[in-house]
Structure 1
Amino acid sequence: MTGTPTENREPGSRVYAPDFLTELFRNPLEPGYADAAARRREEPPPGWGSWSVRTVTLVVLVVLGFLFAVAYRQTVAEAPGRSQARQGLVEQIKQRESETDRLSERADQLRAEVARQRAAALGGSEAARLRNLEAGTGLGRVRGDGVVVRLADAPPDEDAMTGSDAGPPRVIYTDLQGVANDLWAAGAEAISINGQRLTATSTIRFAGQAILVDFRPVTGPYEVSAIGPEEMRERFERSRTAATMRQVAEKTGLSFGVRDAEDLTLPAAPEPRLQYAQPPATPSPTPSGGSVSPGPSGSRTSPSPSGGGR
């Protein structure tokens, strides 16, 4: 490789300066790399400070690994105990449910026996009047034509991200409340939910994921059976609850349907435990040391600030 001739200040002399390619082959390494290597050679070796940081880091990692190992062993050791406790609770629940069903059947048998004995003691007209009253209040079994409203949870959907089954849209207790109330408004004379007869004191509530009708659990699919006049279904179809449930069924996949039913038989409801208010046996003392006696109508008069009656 030849250089480029340049004119020198001295007359009659000519010199050649190296071009770019010649300099590149002669010094291929960037000067900054050479300076950095020289500085590293001049710096002293790492002292105790760097070694102490590395040691502390290593100790922390070892301690964390030990803690994770201990936690894992405890979790594995406690798993059989938790599984056994859960299995025991499940068995107790099943046992209590079977006992409740057995006692309910026994209560129905005794109730039927009491009804027969009472009908025999009262006579024809009085027994018929009592049966009509029991049918109206829900304490007697009824039979007739009507409609059945069926509600069911939507099928489970598979999560597109995890591939697991996502929780389906579920029927909630307010859905059953709305259906029962609108059936009453449509002219229903007797209603039951999955065989649980509704009365004037019935409640439809929830406890966790379970729906309770008169404190007894009911599971899906839910069938609300109602006995009433022929136009009851048409009236219910025009109700707000029916329109709302149809929209919910279209959007979420819940099952909702209404059908006519002939010769329905609704069971009797258990006799409610009614409580009555009673006046106290002894008069209550007033702040001034006297007593307040009941008035002619059985109500008590309130004492005035001066102690007299108002």
Structure 2
Amino acid sequence: MAVPDETPVEASPPKRVYAPDFLTELFRNPLEPGYADAAARKLRDGEPVGARKRVTSGVLALSLVALGFLLVVAYQQTVADEPARSTARAELIEQVQKRREITAALQEQSDRLADEVSALRERQLSGEEAQRLRDTEAATGLAPVQGSGARITVGDGPTPINPVTGERNTVARVKDSDLQLATNALWSLGAEAIAINGQRLTATSTIRQAGEAILVDLRPVTTPYEVVAIGPDDLAEDFRTGYAGRFFEQLGGKYGMSFDAREADDLRLDAATELKLRVAETSAPPPQPSTFSSSGSASTPAGPSRSSSEGGR
């Protein structure tokens, strides 16, 4: 009569079943099933002995030797490359310093030539013509001006970071359209000259957004944005009570953006660094020499009345 084998059959470890709330289950049972199985086998079989232990120890020792060799090679390579990196860095620093010195020398030469041009102009023009030219340069932004006016300051509000996505909320940041609104409002209120963070505005100036930066004539400006204008004595009050001032006050109340408009005396705005004209029109065409056609009658070719330069934006 056959006797059934009563040797207990080792039951396989139960598989983990995740509850719908994954985070709760993860904190309740943080141990990975593979680690639990390895711990159970070690408890059941014990430490490896004999040939198995020697093989395991040999593999471990070989791995440690290989890892140490790689670390030594990496360290030697790093030490060998360090002089080259230091030399390259020193050369770059030297080039930057030389370029700065060259730029400063060229700027001094440009200022000196500009003074010579001004002196020659004053010598050649009469007093009335020179004054009219100076007034035109001040109006177009080609000459520095000073006087009283308004100082408008706007700044970014708080820009919190979304804890989930990591993105920064930029709704409370000043946009290029905000600065355009401020400058257009100042022009309409009688401003004669305007500068944003020291950048003088001209008839061809641009205020653009480039990512998170605002560019005034391709030069970046940062918050807080200071719009300085020379104009009537009540320019600041008119701006504050006008549509632009009310708009910025609403932004401050809703998004926490800063806004201030106050009168200012002894303002000085530097000249614009560059003014590029796209179209020029002559007041009268230059005289042209007479030419004779095949029939013998004289004719005068008409000269061009408009010309365009290549440096316009």
**TM-score interval, smaller chain:** 0.5 to 0.7
Describe the superposition over 1:131-172 as per-residue Cα deviations: whole angstroms up to 9, x where unpaired.
Answer: 111111111111100000001112444x5856x895552111
The equivalent residue for 2:229 is: 226
Match of 1:249 among 248, 252, 271: 252
User: RMSD between aligned alpha carbons?
Assistant: 4.8
Match of 2:182 among 173, 179, 184: 179
Alignment of 1:95-114 (within 5 A): 102=104, 107-108=110-111, 110-114=113-117
The equivalent residue for 1:259 is: 262
Question: Share of identical aligned residues, percent?
Answer: 47
Which entry has the higher C-alpha Rg, 1 or 2? 1
Describe the superposition over 1:222-275 as per-residue Cα deviations: whole angstroms up to 9, x where unpaired.
Answer: 110000011222321232221111111111111111011001001111342223
Q: CA separation of 1:129/1:297 partners in 2, compared to 1, >3 Å: closer, same or farther? A: closer
Contact 1:192 1:226 in 2 (8 A): yes
The equivalent residue for 1:151 is: 154
Gaps of 5+ in 1: 1-83, 279-294, 300-310
* Mapped partners of 1:296, 1:160: distance in 2: 67
The equivalent residue for 1:139 is: 142
* Mapped partners of 1:156, 1:134: distance in 2: 41
Q: CA separation of 1:123/1:173 partners in 2, compared to 1, >3 Å: closer, same or farther? A: same
* Mapped partners of 2:107, 2:254: distance in 1: 39
Describe the superposition over 1:62-107 as per-residue Cα deviations: whole angstroms up to 9, x where unpaired.
Answer: xxxxxxxxxxxxxxxxxxxxxx9xx9xxx9xx98x96998566764
Describe the superposition over 1:162-220 as per-residue Cα deviations: whole angstroms up to 9, x where unpaired.
Answer: 6x895552111111100000000011011111111111111111222211111111122
The equivalent residue for 1:200 is: 203
* Mapped partners of 1:101, 1:241: distance in 2: 40
* Mapped partners of 1:100, 1:231: distance in 2: 45
The equivalent residue for 2:214 is: 211
* Mapped partners of 1:241, 1:178: distance in 2: 7
Count of paired positions: 213
What is the TM-score with the length of structure 1 in the denominator? 0.54
